[in-house]
Amino acid sequence: MSDSEVKEIQWTIHTTHPERVQEVRAKLSEVVDPEIGMTIIQLGLIRDVEIENGIGRIKMILTTPFCPYGPAMIEMTKAKAVEGLNMPVNIEMGMEMWDFSMMEDPSALDWGMYA
């Protein structure tokens, strides 16, 4: 795979509930980081999606721990995940630091967005 190819992050539901992946990805793709102008899917901020006992669990990170839009993005992510999974959802914030290698679509780097 070349650096310019999209590398879809594999979540737990890819194995456990593959029929739900497309819908939840589509809904989560509606959440845009307002500072960067890219979706949380493109940025790779959704680290995992699981379903356990009829409740969705989203593990996500932010591009920076002090993101001023963080609370709003988390709430929007939860709302869109509920729509996409059609069940209650809990958001778990991961502790890993975001970097460009986590992006699903590294072609954004070719747009001159980042030095």
Q: What is the pLDDT of residues 36-92, one digit of tens each?
A: 889 999 999 999 999 999 999 999 999 998 888 999 999 999 999 999 999 999 999
Q: What is the pLDDT of residues 12-32, one digit of tens each?
A: 999 999 999 999 999 999 999
Above 60 in pLDDT, residue 111? no
CA distance 94 to 69: 17
Above 50 in pLDDT, residue 7? yes
Tell me the longest C-alpha to C-alpha distance in the chain: 44
Please report the pLDDT score of residue 5 as a whole number.
66
Q: Give the CATH fold of the 13-102 domain.
A: GMP Synthetase; Chain A, domain 3 (3.30.300)
C-alpha distance from residue 75 to each of 6, 43, 72, 79 (Å): 26, 17, 5, 6
Please report the pLDDT score of residue 52 as a whole number.
96
Q: Are 106 and 4 in contact (CB under 8 A)?
A: yes
**Cα-atom radius of gyration of the chain, to the nearest Å?**
14
DSSP classification of residue 36: T
